[in-house]
Amino acid sequence: MSHATIHKEFPVLFSEEQIAARTAEIGRQIDQDYAGHAVVLVGVLKGAAIFLADLARCITVECTFDFVAVSSYGKGQRTSGAVKMIKDLDQPIEGKHIIIVEDILDTGLTLCFLRSLFEQHKPASLRIAALLDKPSRRLEKIDADYVGFHIPNHFVIGYGMDYAERFRNVPDIRLMPPDYPELH
């Protein structure tokens, strides 16, 4: 399905320009918060990869990145509440300033799991940057330190976010219609 076809079926929630402007604002805030310090951006794969890349280019303090992959597993589309690490960090984080970069802060299960796990490694600081925040879906008490946009409980695609691994390359963030047919 081309971007032109998606234009007709999936309404734009946030344009490329809106995302770029908000990401730059978050980058400036991180620069202020970490002036004189290096940070490690830890992206949660796969959805946060594009946001992390754009955010890193908006940060002027020294920064490196690492990635983790986690899975919430359960039957069907509902999570069991259990989170499993699929890919762990490549480098130690003790004594470093860590910013977990996530595409969507939704139920909070994944970010609570990661925060708890990372805190055991004694970082100098640990913060969360989430492009999107869906507070209405929260099951765990957790907030992001840096939030791109607050959104209602709608399924979104684009800018790294997918439906059945599709649509990650759509350059803006779009709403998926609730009656969109299942992909096979």
Instruction: Provide CB contacts within 8 A for 133, sequence distance 6+.
Output: 104, 105, 143, 144, 147, 148, 149, 150, 151
- Asked whether the bond before 75 is cis by omega within 30 degrees of 0, the reply is no
Catalytic residue among 54, 106, 133, 172: 106
Active site residue 106: yes
Closest by Cα among 111, 1, 92 to 48? 111
Instruction: Provide CB contacts within 8 A for 91, sequence distance 6+.
Output: 40, 64, 66
Catalytic residues: 106
